[in-house]
Amino acid sequence: MIAVGMTEPGAGSAVTDLATRATRDAKGWRINGSKIFTTHSAYADLILAYVRFGPGVAGIGSVLIETKAQGVQQGRRSQFMSGEEWAELKFEDVLVPEDMVLLGEGGFKKQIAGFNVERIGNAARSAALGRYAFEAARAWALERKQFGRLLCEFQGLQWKFADMKLKLDAAQLLLYRAAANADRGLPSPEDTAIAKAYCNQAGFEVANEALQVMGATGYSRETLVEYCVRRCRGWMIAGGSVEILKNRIAEAIFNRSFSQRP
Ligand SMILES: Cc1cc2nc3c(=O)[nH]c(=O)nc-3n(C[C@H](O)[C@H](O)[C@H](O)COP(=O)(O)OP(=O)(O)OC[C@H]3O[C@@H](n4cnc5c(N)ncnc54)[C@H](O)[C@@H]3O)c2cc1C
């Protein structure tokens, strides 16, 4: 099990502010720092950790760290709303041999370009869980009766389903566009940002509406719909939050880069 450790207490959306550093050692590199919110870190064998070899964005690269290595400490354990576990990780003079360096100094841009593939996967999961919840609610509306009528016969609910379908189909087409581009090399950052932001929002909104249509049955653990809501919610934050992706989209619209720093 490999977990990907980018986020640190002082570096969330501003991931390039990460402070975990790699310093030269006769046997390789010594790693000092910490990571939080790393999915699966509570039981991973390896951490793909983003570290700082030098100052600035150009100083960032990545290394593989075995969780059993001397100097790796597991701190507080916690859970996301989705139920996935993570643990705080601390690195104190952890030795990383040269062949465990993935991308040395200057590797950050390459790593983030590759990360757009993960973002397409994240977008696909949001769209898929939204679709699953939609199908569960559709089946429910065709079966459940109130006031002597099937739920699907109430116009107030029909319009919810129409809106859900609009969002899901749009999400799927944006996802296909980004994925088709990925087939010709690394995916376009702009198309990926648009697909992920839209799929994340659509997946969550559709799953949430599906839950509403199913009433207490949707809200309880009788079905997986409540799980879809919890899971989709996290993807609006993980892997580039919806807001950070919209910043990226705005940069493409204006063909300018807008520094987020004061
Ligand atoms: C389910 C889940 C799984 C995760 N898995 C991992 C993992 O495996 N590995 C890992 O390293 N990290 C992981 N993370 C952490 C994730 O990468 C961070 O949560 C994310 O980068 C946001 O950082 P933050 O939580 O510190 O929020 P902050 O950066 O503090 O942001 C708080 C809010 O402000 C907004 N914001 C921040 N800056 C701007 C800006 N410039 N413009 C507009 N809005 C802004 C954000 O969008 C957010 O809504 C995971 C998170 C979640 C929820």
User: 33 C-alpha vs ligand 1 centroid, how far in Å?
Assistant: 19
Cα 136 to Cα 220: distance, rounded to the nearest angstrom: 14
How far is the CA of 16 from the CAs of 32, 47, 240, 254, in angstroms?
A: 16, 18, 13, 23
CB within 8 Å of 243: residues ≥ 6 apart: 13
3-state DSSP assignment of residue 11: strand
Q: How confident is the model at residue 111, as a pLDDT?
A: 87
Q: How confident is the model at residue 185, as a pLDDT?
A: 84
Cα 38 to Cα 84: distance, rounded to the nearest angstrom: 10
Q: 85 - beta bridge partners?
A: 79
- Long-range (24+ apart) CB contacts under 8 A made by 70-74 are 70/94, 70/95, 71/31, 71/95, 74/41, 74/42
Cα 11 to Cα 27: distance, rounded to the nearest angstrom: 29
Any idea what DSSP says for residue 91? E
- The helix (run of H) or strand (run of E) holding residue 60 is strand 60-66
pLDDT per position as a tens digit, 139-156: 999 999 999 999 999 999
Query: Contact, 178 vs 194, CB < 8 A?
Result: yes
Cα 30 to Cα 95: distance, rounded to the nearest angstrom: 5
3-state DSSP assignment of residue 246: helix
User: 12 C-alpha vs ligand 1 centroid, how far in Å?
Assistant: 5
Is ligand 1 within 6 A of the CB of residue 42? no
Cα 45 to Cα 36: distance, rounded to the nearest angstrom: 16
User: 203 C-alpha vs ligand 1 centroid, how far in Å?
Assistant: 18
Q: How confident is the model at residue 181, as a pLDDT?
A: 86
The C-alpha angle 142, 145, 147, rounded to 5 degrees, equals 140
Query: Contact, 215 vs 157, CB < 8 A?
Result: no
- Ligand 1 mutation target, pool 60, 241, 249, 259, most atoms within 8 A of CB: 241
Both tokens of 229, joined, read 């809501």
Q: Is the four-CA dihedral 117, 122, 125, 130 of positive or negative sign?
A: negative
Query: Contact, 7 vs 38, CB < 8 A?
Result: yes
- Which residues in the chain land under pLDDT 50? none
- Counting from 1 in the atom list of ligand 1, the atom nearest the Cα of 80 is 1
